[in-house]
A and B are shown apart, each in its own frame.
Chain A
Amino acid sequence: MRTRTDEDIVRQVKEGNTEAFGLLVKRYEQKILRYARRFLFGHEDGQDLVQEVFLKAYANIQSFDGEHKFSSWLYRIAHNEFINALRKKRRMPILYFDFDTVFPHLLASERADTQANEKEVKAMLDAHLQELDPKYREPLILYYFEEMNYKEIAEILHIPPATVGVRLKRGKDVLKSLIT
């Protein structure tokens, strides 16, 4: 049973308890590895990148102010690391203007998918991840595999929550078009 919250452990790490950081690594490395493998889809060495994510988290731990969840903060570091890796290998444009974030969207209500629907989407994702644009792939992974809500995904990707809904919908539409 988890007795200490992530934020409690972060407080100890900030005070100099290095071993405590090992606990955070233990809690999150599987999740971040899974996220890496799905998002990068074998293009990059996920393990090295995940290691780099935790090293960066440690180096910058004093900037974590507790305003957001530690998990969101860590996933944000992972997101930046993975995007940079894709850019280095030119699998993403270096300068990339995101039109989705310019205009306001009506916030689609975050309705929980039925179990069957969720299974169907996960199966489609597993089969066609590589074919999806990273812009859609990432929120779909975070929503369906990391089980995050719109607000959490918005904090990680630094986009408005309504844009998360738009990308999820478009991503699912693209997936459906791939299988028909």
Chain B
Amino acid sequence: MNDTSDHSSIQQEVLAAIKSGRVKMRPKWYFFLRAALVIVGAAFLFLTVLYLTSFIIFMLRQTGVLFVPAFGLRGLWVFLVSLPWLLIGAALLFILILEVLVKQYAFAYRRPLLYSTFAILFLVTAGGLVIAMTPLHPGLFKQAKEDALPLAGPLYRQFLAQRFPDIHKGMVIEFVDTGFFMKNNEEETLQVVVTSTTHFPFDSELYTGEWVVVFGRREDGTIQALGVHKVSDLMEEVPRMKGKSRHFGQ
């Protein structure tokens, strides 16, 4: 192996390619632009994931799915099957792309992947929770119902109009011997039958005008309540007014 001839030929070939113009030095602005595009892309992805996460949390609260794990293993199972897996998959895909984008930078590759993944997941979850508590989604949902939201309208209408067989969210309107009546978002009046086996995870004193999530099978207009969970919805359109109360004791 002739190292000397390797040496001079590589150097010569490289310099010849440069002098002939076959290889050109990329200008500084090319790298600034590339970095800027990466930053913009990463920011867009992050905001999209943040929006999706907050939408998922809002949707779970709005439909009552968020509260059913309090009703034991069956509630947990219903919760898992009711999750918007398509949206969660999309959010995870964006997080993966974001991870790939940041991996080229020293702050990411010098540490185990787990750290940057946890950091992204933490930021996205915390940010999503904060945004879900703001009037953003209720406002957009209202516009979607009025058909005044061109792009995201179908997303709101499809996911927030979902009905889950065992999950019923509504406002308590009247107490009766067997339980109470409630009105849901579709303006339906449903009778909720409360028995000695109905589980109240946190507080068993209910008020008229209060929003609740009832877990149980519905047959026509009657729900056999396996569990009732109070919902403190700060963003309800109709403000909660505490009326009559009833304590469903053990």
Contact = CB atoms under 8 A, between A and B. Distances in A.
A103 B114 contact: yes
Interface in B88-140: 103-104, 106, 109-115
B6 interface: yes
Contacts, number: 85
A102 interface: yes
Contacts of A14: 25
A62 B113 CA distance: 29
Interface in A118-164: 154-155, 158-163
A101 interface: yes
A104 B114 CA distance: 8
B131 to A, nearest CB: 29
A154 B110 contact: yes
A84 interface: no
A18 interface: yes
What 10 pairs between A and B have smallest CB-CB spacing? A158-B109, A102-B113, A104-B112, A63-B31, A25-B11, A54-B14, A62-B28, A55-B23, A29-B10, A22-B15
Interface of B: 3, 6-7, 9-11, 13-15, 17-19, 23-28, 30-31, 103-104, 106, 109-115
15 contacts: A18-B15, A25-B10, A25-B14, A47-B6, A55-B17, A58-B23, A62-B25, A62-B31, A63-B31, A103-B112, A103-B114, A104-B111, A104-B114, A104-B115, A160-B109
Interface of A: 14, 18-19, 21-22, 25-26, 29-30, 33, 47, 50-51, 54-55, 58-63, 101-105, 154-155, 158-163
Given A18-B15, A51-B10, A155-B106, 13 more contacts: A22-B11, A25-B15, A29-B6, A47-B9, A47-B10, A55-B17, A55-B18, A62-B26, A62-B28, A103-B112, A154-B110, A159-B109, A162-B112
